[in-house]
Amino acid sequence: GHKFWGTQPVPQIGEAPPEVDGPIEPSKPVEELRELYELLSANYVEDDDASFRFQYSAEFLSWALKPPGYHKDWHIGVRVSSTKKLVAFISAVPIRVRVRENQFDASEVNFLCVHKKLRSKRLTPVLIKEVTRQCHLKGVFQALYTGGVLLPTPVSTCRYYHRCLNIPKLVTVRFTGVPPNMTLARMIRLHKVPDRPRLLEHGLREMEDRDVPQVANLFNRYMQRFQMVPVMSEEEVRHQFLSGLGEGPRGADSWKHRREGQVVWTYVVENPKTHKVTDFVSFYSLPSTIMNSDKYNLLNAAYLFYYGTETAFEPGAEESGRLKKRLEELINDALVIAKSADFDVFNALTLMDNVCILQDLKFGQGDGLLNFYLYNWRTAPLAGMTAQPVA
């Protein structure tokens, strides 16, 4: 054998030819992202009883922090002067938002983090004032941010819901429990999902670059249903919905394809006759560190992201229940895809049209809340950010 080459990312002699072309190991994050990744991995958001802590991947951070038009000046870190160790961070990215009938450019502030050893020293106001100053320098005077903590004053508050996909693991790590009137076997059966997405027959496939114009159009029209939404250009839609890791294989099982380091997953339904994209659904990967289990270190969680369907624009679709049915089909297929990609749980918030599908798709209510905030913008509270409940 080859003592050295056997350890390198090169095809090994005698290895079967690949099904898809692409890298053998994921690209390494640049040094600054590695440091941020390490700060957040040890010090970022935990659940109420400190059992799980978000573990953003370097690929996720790169996706979230470098959208089209991002500013390096809006990625702000604090280092210890002697050691240069990164101990605090805050970021903003440009976003165009519509709140009710007003559209404006704003910044979306995220990844505020202070090292555990430096808490309660009023470093947070320093970070917030600096990111505000940097936004002002770019002519941006409004901001959007979310948080589990209650601050003055939410425009909306959403609850997390969880669809369990891997019951044995979720029970083992005490993410969920077996209710007294239930057995583990019955719970597993209850949470089974189909082997294949139902909408494959109707043209469901992974989104590709050529779908960007149609998805952008459908996204912006569908978002008109809601009171506070991002407004996205085609370039932004490409960034938000395509993994940037290239197209997968073609053929019957291509929906199962998963790329190393993939963050966002988007599927479209293309009408086989008209070639029109009629629906899309997306989710992203955000694992959490499991802090109190010897058996598992990582909870593989998928989060429902954006979706849209032309069904919403058909007369009577809402009243007749056709819209609810279509959203259930779409999101159920997202569950099937997530399950086949080995996600343990699929999370969703009580926003957009989610509320109407949560119960039938067997999501359970979580204890986490997410508050939505606007900086320097007054508006009456937004009704859970949902549209009118769909029949």
Residues that bind ligand YNC (CB under 6 A): 43-45, 107, 109-114, 119-125, 128, 131-132, 135, 140-143, 145, 147, 149, 151, 375
Which does residue 39 bind out of ligand YNC, Mg ion, none, counting CB within 5 to 8 angstroms by kind? none
Residue showing the smallest CB distance to ligand YNC in the complex = 124
- Rank residues 123 and 200 by Cβ distance to ligand YNC and give the closer one: 123
- Rank residues 111 and 307 by Cβ distance to Mg ion and give the closer one: 111
By the rule CB under 5 A, 276 interacts with Mg ion: no
By the rule CB under 5 A, 123 interacts with Mg ion: yes
Which does residue 140 bind out of ligand YNC, Mg ion, none, counting CB within 5 to 8 angstroms by kind? ligand YNC
Which does residue 250 bind out of ligand YNC, Mg ion, none, counting CB within 5 to 8 angstroms by kind? none
Tokens 């293309």 locate to: 270
Considering the complex, what minimum distance in angstroms separates the CB of residue 118 from Mg ion?
A: 5
- Rank residues 124 and 233 by Cβ distance to Mg ion and give the closer one: 124
Considering the complex, what minimum distance in angstroms separates the CB of residue 385 from ligand YNC?
A: 17
By the rule CB under 5 A, 45 interacts with Mg ion: no
- Rank residues 87 and 358 by Cβ distance to Mg ion and give the closer one: 87
Pick the binder of Mg ion from 72, 100, 121, 192 (CB under 5 A): 121
By the rule CB under 5 A, 79 interacts with Mg ion: no
- Rank residues 111 and 346 by Cβ distance to ligand YNC and give the closer one: 111
Using the rule CB under 5 A, give the single segment among 28-36, 48-56, 112-120, 375-383 that binds Mg ion: 112-120
- Rank residues 203 and 287 by Cβ distance to ligand YNC and give the closer one: 287
Number of residues that bind Mg ion (CB under 5 A): 3
Per-residue b or e along 14-40, where b marks 16 or more CB atoms closer than 10 Å to that residue's CB: eeeeeeeeeeeeeeebeeebebbbebb
Considering the complex, what minimum distance in angstroms separates the CB of residue 45 from ligand YNC?
A: 4
- Rank residues 93 and 277 by Cβ distance to ligand YNC and give the closer one: 93
Contact 112, 143 (CB under 8 A): no
Half-sphere exposure of 77 (CA within 13 A, CB side): 17
- 110's CB contacts (< 8 A; 6+ apart) are 64, 91, 92, 93, 145, 146
- Among 263, 265, 343, smallest CA distance to 27 is for 263
- 258's CB contacts (< 8 A; 6+ apart) are 341, 342
**Angle, to 10 degrees, between the axis of helix 212-222 and the axis of helix 234-241?**
100
* SS3 letters across 43-83: HCCECCCCCEEECCCHHHHHHHHCCCCCCHHHEEEEECCCC
Considering the complex, what minimum distance in angstroms separates the CB of residue 265 from ligand YNC?
A: 24
DSSP assignment of 325-364, as one string? HHHHHHHHHHHHHHHHTT-SEEEEES-BTTHHHHTTTT-E
8-state DSSP, 200: G
- Rank residues 55 and 214 by Cβ distance to ligand YNC and give the closer one: 55
Tokens 């936004």 locate to: 135
Angstrom distance (rounded) from CA 181 to CA 379: 46
Q: What residues line the site for Mg ion (CB under 5 A)? A: 114, 121, 123
